[in-house]
Structure 1
Amino acid sequence: MPSAQEFSVLSFGAKSCPKEVIQALEANPADANVILPFLKKSLEGGSSTMCSSDQVWLFCVSRNNGIVTVDMVLSCTENEMGKYPIFIVPTQPVSRWSPTSLSVRLKALAEALRDSVPQERVYSIFAPDIVVFLFSQLWSDLVGIGINEKPYYAARLLSCATVIPNPLPLPPSATCRLAVTADTTAIAKLCKGFSDESEPFVLGRNEAFKEASLLISKQQVWVYCVSEEITCIAAFTRNTLNMATITKVYTRPSCRGRGYARHLVREVTRHLLRSGRREVVLYVAHNNASAARVYESVGFVEPDPAVEVGHSVKWTEVGFDRNYVDLGHW
């Protein structure tokens, strides 16, 4: 087990990511879904927003007899909709560190983050439970901003590599399809509904319309229609050649309980796997048993830790006192 001293924290820019970092993230793509797709787009020369100087990347490495190992990666980034939370992805099994070794690594990351961004930029942290609770406390102690009593989000990370066949066909009046420009207004209403249930990350009408337009233009959202009326959406916004992440599933409240989301998630997942991805991942909140049943019926399960080395099932987003931070959106 490495000692507390055998590590360092380094930074890199959007165009200069060390290959060791990419390799470490690619070794556990399920956990890395919050960082790896964005990082690859930045390296490939994505939009000016993705490559702006506001993006901060930090990573912790251990050294042992000349061998360098990437321990974890932290990102502070933003997209067209706003600033993301701070994401932290362990790239080694957390069990390899003693509590002291983990604490000093996270403290060093917190200090490097403090030196890189204004403290009001850090409105929340999203990471595996064992990391997020320790890091958020270290950050709070460092900058003097309190932690919200209730986490913004607490969820399990699920993965699907094989879709379970649907025992029931689509109703004759129903269709699942990729969204088109003509769907923008209807999808914006559902994006707004989703955000209204995701306090404090609530969108105004114009912001919801912007989000719908972006999802459609990037071909990242499908719809479930009943007699041509859109009742449900499923979006996938963190994607690489080998993996995709379903990030938003929302059914109009008056249409829930009819199996629409189950049909749509199954079709979207099948489409993503047929397009060449090896797996599709998503998060499901601990308190959302109905959504968990939908995803599990499609084939989503907790990734096998024997395959995903160091995989973390439970993830939480911890927020800080909103009187002292600037909220973003994701």
Structure 2
Amino acid sequence: MELQRFNEPIAFRAHVGAFLETHEAENCVQIGMLTTRSLIPSADPIYCATVVDGAAIQAVAIMTPPYHLLITPAAPSAAVDLIAHDLAGEAVMVTGVMADPATSLRFAQTWQDVRGGGFAPTMSERLYRLARVIPITGVAGRMRAISEADRPLLVQWLADFEQEALGTALDHAQIHHRIDRYLTLAAFGLYLWEVDGEVVALAAHSGPTPHGMRIGPVYTPPGLRGHGYARALVADLSQMLLAGGRQFCFLFTDLTNPTSNHIYQAIGYTPVSDVQVYRFT
């Protein structure tokens, strides 16, 4: 096997697109990242690599520091080891890895061998796909798109989501940049659930794939939970995306949260695969 590096994300997308799209749901994050780079050119660093056996791609790896490394599912152990050794020679911080459980563990163990330090599991997730929304009733409120007037609330809620779900803190400049994308780019959208004029939940979409769109984040403040607002919002947002021409919607849930796994299945999301995240120490 041989590892190949690419310096240009758009050319890389053209090279690996067919491989990634054979498992479009499982690779929705990687496809979405590369599509976003084509929509929004950036000088930020990105690591793009394939491992090939002859002409056949065996694995694809993408990383935009400081975010975790992404490796395509079911990568052969030898391919994972090549990626680890290649990154070990770079002056870049690898903060963690996100992949299917076996691939993620293999990379974490090899990374520990070649770079030292430790690793710890930080999140176990399940990927879901939806092709048809099961209608729900009995939830008060309606969905609406965000406006500039919502920015102060969005800054606080997006920061709260990041801290609660991922344990990380985003500075306000990063959050404002995300809100700008939601307000100006068609591939990104942020919607609110409103009850009698009060905003009670948010849900976003981003990361377009050839046939789908990824939902997330989804957030309801603790004091407003238990009323079905997030479920209703995700159902309406998913239906809007399907009606607009998408064949599928994708989303990730925390496997340790049985409530979120249940509510999304109730509106038509079906499990695709599991993902394990390790953080390096």
Aligned with 2:170: secondary structure?
A: coil
**Larger Rg belongs to:** 1
Would the aligned equivalents of 2:118 and 2:280 in 1 still touch at CA under 8 Å?
A: yes
Distance in 2 of aligned mates of 1:209 and 1:38: 19
Matching residue's letter, 1:154: S
Cα offset for 1:180?
Answer: 1.5
Distance in 2 of aligned mates of 1:206 and 1:22: 32
Give me the TM-score of the superposition, normalised by structure 1: 0.79
Matching residue's letter, 2:163: D
Q: 2:252 pairs with 251, 267, 283, which one?
A: 283
Closer, same or farther: CA 155–104 of 1 in aligned 2, 3 Å: same
Q: Which residue of 1 aligns with 2:71?
A: 88
Q: 1:37 pairs with 14, 32, 35, which one?
A: 32
Sequence identity of aligned pairs in percent? 23
Q: Which residue of 2 aligns with 1:186?
A: 153
In structure 1, stretches of 5+ residues that fail to align are: 1-6, 95-101, 304-312, 322-330
Aligned length, in residue pairs: 278
Distance in 2 of aligned mates of 1:47 and 1:165: 35
Distance in 1 of aligned mates of 2:149 and 2:34: 31
Give me the TM-score of the superposition, normalised by structure 2: 0.91
Cα offset for 1:182?
Answer: 1.3
Cα offset for 1:204?
Answer: 4.2
Instruction: Encode CA deviations 1:89-147: one digit per residue, 9 max, x unaligned.
Output: 13xx55xxxxxxx32221111112223x324x210101110100010110121111221
Q: How does 1:17-166 map to 2 (within 5 A)?
A: 17=12, 19-42=14-37, 44=38, 46-49=39-42, 52=43, 54-63=45-54, 68-77=55-64, 83-90=66-73, 102-115=76-89, 117-119=90-92, 121-148=93-120, 151-166=121-136
Q: Which residue of 2 aligns with 1:324?
A: none
Closer, same or farther: CA 263–58 of 1 in aligned 2, 3 Å: same
In structure 2, stretches of 5+ residues that fail to align are: none
Q: 2:214 pairs with 239, 242, 245, which one?
A: 245
Instruction: Encode CA deviations 1:212-244: one digit per residue, 9 max, x unaligned.
Output: 343333341110011122110001121134111
Would the aligned equivalents of 1:76 and 1:87 in 2 still touch at CA under 8 Å?
A: yes
Would the aligned equivalents of 1:58 and 1:73 in 2 still touch at CA under 8 Å?
A: yes
> What is the root-mean-square deviation in Å for CA atoms of aligned residues?
2.0
Cα offset for 1:32?
Answer: 0.9
Distance in 1 of aligned mates of 2:15 and 2:181: 32
Q: 1:231 pairs with 200, 205, 226, which one?
A: 200
Cα offset for 1:169?
Answer: 4.7
